[in-house]
Chains A and B, each alone.
Chain A
Amino acid sequence: MTIEGWILILGFTLIVAALARPVGLYLDAVYAGRRTWLTPLVAPVERGIYALAGVRPQEAQGWRTYAVGVVVFSLVSALVVHAILRLQGVLPFNPQGFEGVPPAIAANTAVSFVTNTNWQSYGGETTMSHLSQMAALTVQNFASAAVGMAVAVAVSRGIAARGSGTLGNFWVDLMRGVLYVLLPACVVLALPYVALGIPQTLAGSLQASTLEGPTQDIAVGPVASQVAIKMLGTNGGGFFNANAAHPLENTGALTNFIQMVSIFVLGAGLCVTFGRIVGDERQGWAILAAMGSLFLVGVGLTYWAESHASAALVAAGVDPSAGNMEGKETRFGIAASALFAVVTTAASCGAVNAMHDSFTPLGGMVPMVNMMLGEVIVGGVGAGLYGMLVFVLLTVFIAGLMVGRTPTWLGKRIEAREVRLAVFAILAAPFAILVGTAFAAAGAGTAGVQDGGPHGFSEMLYAFTSAGANNGSAFGGLTATSDFWAYGLAAAMMVGRFLIIVPVLAIAGALSTRSPAAASAGAFPTSGPLFVGLLVAIVLIVGGLTFFPALALGPLAEATASGLF
């Protein structure tokens, strides 16, 4: 570990914390429909779109209508993506002449991008035409991120509502997220990315005759426009197979830093937005503080682990002082690779700038744990906030039990139905992850594994964890192209998305029908260090109880067998 490494990690954390408030206030203004500096430009476009789509923007929806909107929109999106991928061979913008994507991979990819997971069981530069990258995948990078933000805002409104029983209008929230937030930000980010070397062209490749003679065919394409939204929307699906480790997708230290900040900035900002919506900004900061503590512990552990050479390198006699450089790029080194790995898995992004499969056992376990905790450490845009709010509700309930009082949250009584729904939302993804991994390890998925032993189990566990948590990163040694993997992971991704969104909206719907009472002296405050500590503890206990046995069979067994690294 180096001084520069820690400056990077702490500097990154401070910059994200500093951006949270301005971003959060802007998001609050956008979703409340207040005037922003983009309003004169965007509002007319917005009105036209609503007219065309038959949307009445003033119409507030109850939770059921909102949830059906989310599901129908996602379903239509998945079908369109699937169709484009299957038909790319006869569609334009296909300079490489790729054929249609095979059905299982196309279905897996469609679900993957619509659920904001961006699990990729294909190599981008060897599979996808430019049209597929742009009109299928980039579109869902925008749309799935906007859906996540919309749900988070709707849930916040439900918690804050004074008996109205409504959460807002899904179509309006969806379009505002794209038109006022994601698209303008990407337009601003894409060109600097090009200036820093990320390609943006409709050509398919750059042909070179190398210094030693042989020809090198370098894949290029409309990369910068996709990278901008891929990070900001915590999607993570790479243009190239190697994702953000590819020197054309992430050219150097500066693009790497901008990409990492992009991953966190909206998720962090949404915490502040939540605080504004419920009328007490400290509520949002308490959540962000809980996220930040879990994040820093994860970064410290990964950075420490990756600063050691792995057992295989030591066995071969490699100088251990440089750390574990297998699967890492020279321009990022250990610190920026470890930080990126934690950011991308804490935030449900899933882009990688180093290969997690080659991390040391403990270094590779932290990304897994980040996902297993429910992607609530900043989390996917929107998804992280509504995921964490479920844990907040559970914490309030448990704190109420401990002091023997009826639990109240922001002045509202928490009743049995909400707690049941919260437990359902918390257990849906673990159920998909553990059941899926069990089937895989029982033989259905072992054919795709690269390594035997505990590491092979880790590859399978990581895959279902990544899908169930809607992350999308991988232990890339696993070949996940068989029907079991393609459809099994697609099912896990759907569970991890919709069986959380629907119960969370139901909770918000129930809370929206109640009027807050004045805070009584006995109510447990949901801001302040005591609550932050309790929230962190609940997240860790639930995740630990659920996943410790699985981790013991994978990374912990490998660490024990290899002498820690």
Chain B
Amino acid sequence: MLVHLRPALVLVALLTALTGIAYPLGVTGLAAAVFPHQAAGSPVTRDGVVVGSSLVGQSFSQPQYFWGRPSAAGEGYDGRASSGSNLGPTSQALADRVRAEAARHGVPVSRIPPELLTASGSGLDPHISRQAALFQVARVASARGLPVDDVQALVEARVEPRFAGVLGEEWVNILALNMALDAMPLANAAPGAGVP
């Protein structure tokens, strides 16, 4: 027993120094030199101000923006409290939340693309499907006083294909889509439109 104590203590100390300090700090240094943007969390800026991360979803509830999925992260899209709802497959609370979410969209449940009614695993899902984006085109166009066709074309242009044609799913990044919307020249600015 005691003869094992020295190697155990020394090796735990050395492993801590090597894999717990040198390795992560070495990777941090290298990452800062080679991929500083990604290493910092892929910040997105507009007019010099950080407006979010291109990889992290944020809360949208105003009619002139595309909305993401329901979020169980804190009060919704809390970047410091990622979480799914963890509601089970037979949960009454889940069925109730779905109905409440549908009421927000103002359309019967059956007509809404399912991801807009289901909470993501992280509560920070930055994406929605093409269908879920197209579903919201009419509302966004009307709130902004823009032609539906223009908004629809904007969505279609931002659909990301599957990786290498097979991996993952097709998706639209909501923050990028909404920033592109804000950058569109406004028609005759309708009430409630425009950048806050």
Instruction: Establish whether residues A358 and B28, one from each chain, have CB atoms under 8 Å apart when the complex forms.
Output: no
Given known A54-B7, A200-B31, A248-B55, contact A205–B79 (CB-CB < 8 A): yes
User: Is B92 in contact with chain A by the CB < 8 A criterion?
Assistant: yes
Interfacial chain B residues near A336, Cβ < 8 Å = 167-169
Q: Which of B54, B169, B175 has the most A CB atoms < 10 Å from its CB?
A: B169
Instruction: Establish whether residues A220 and B41, one from each chain, have CB atoms under 8 Å apart when the complex forms.
Output: yes
Interface string of B75-115 (1 = CB under 8 A from A): 00111111111111111101110110010000011111111
Interface string of B1-40 (1 = CB under 8 A from A): 1001111111110111011110111111011101100111
When the two chains form the complex, which single residue of A141, A186, A216 contacts B77, counting CB atoms closer than 8 Å?
A216
Give the number of residues in A that approach B within 8 Å (Cβ atoms): 126
What's the nearest-Cβ distance from chain A to residue B92, in Å?
Answer: 7
When the two chains form the complex, which single residue of B14, B118, B124, B166 contacts A49, counting CB atoms closer than 8 Å?
B14
Interface members, chain A 230-258 (any B CB < 8 Å)? 240-242, 245-248, 251-254, 256-257
Instruction: Establish whether residues A68 and B168, one from each chain, have CB atoms under 8 Å apart when the complex forms.
Output: no
Interfacial chain B residues near A357, Cβ < 8 Å = 84, 86-88
User: Is A312 in contact with chain B by the CB < 8 A criterion?
Assistant: yes
Interfacial chain A residues near B89, Cβ < 8 Å = 310-312, 324, 326, 358-361, 364, 455, 558, 562, 565
- Which partner residue on chain B sits nearest A361 by CB separation? B89
Interface string of B145-174 (1 = CB under 8 A from A): 000000000000000001100111101000
User: Is A58 in contact with chain B by the CB < 8 A criterion?
Assistant: no
User: Is A432 in contact with chain B by the CB < 8 A criterion?
Assistant: no
Interfacial chain B residues near A187, Cβ < 8 Å = 23, 26-27
Instruction: Establish whether residues A217 and B121, one from each chain, have CB atoms under 8 Å apart when the complex forms.
Output: no
Interfacial chain B residues near A191, Cβ < 8 Å = 27, 30-31, 34-35
When the two chains form the complex, which single residue of A213, A311, A333 contacts B168, counting CB atoms closer than 8 Å?
A333
Instruction: Establish whether residues A355 and B121, one from each chain, have CB atoms under 8 Å apart when the complex forms.
Output: yes
Instruction: Establish whether residues A225 and B23, one from each chain, have CB atoms under 8 Å apart when the complex forms.
Output: yes
Instruction: Establish whether residues B53 and A208, one from each chain, have CB atoms under 8 Å apart when the complex forms.
Output: yes
Instruction: Establish whether residues B98 and A329, one from each chain, have CB atoms under 8 Å apart when the complex forms.
Output: no
What's the nearest-Cβ distance from chain B to residue A410, in Å?
Answer: 30
Residues of chain A having any CB pair with chain B under 8 Å: 4, 7-8, 11, 49, 52-55, 68-69, 72-73, 75-77, 80, 123, 125-126, 134-136, 138-139, 141-143, 171, 174-175, 178, 183, 186-187, 190-191, 194-203, 205-214, 216-220, 222, 224-226, 229, 240-242, 245-248, 251-254, 256-257, 309-313, 315-319, 322-333, 336-337, 352-355, 357-361, 364, 450-451, 453, 455, 458, 475-477, 558, 561-562, 565
B125-133, B136-144, B184-192 - the one binding chain A: B125-133
Interfacial chain B residues near A324, Cβ < 8 Å = 89, 118
Give A360 to B88 CA distance when docked, in angstroms: 8
Give A332 to B163 CA distance when docked, in angstroms: 11
Interfacial chain A residues near B69, Cβ < 8 Å = 330
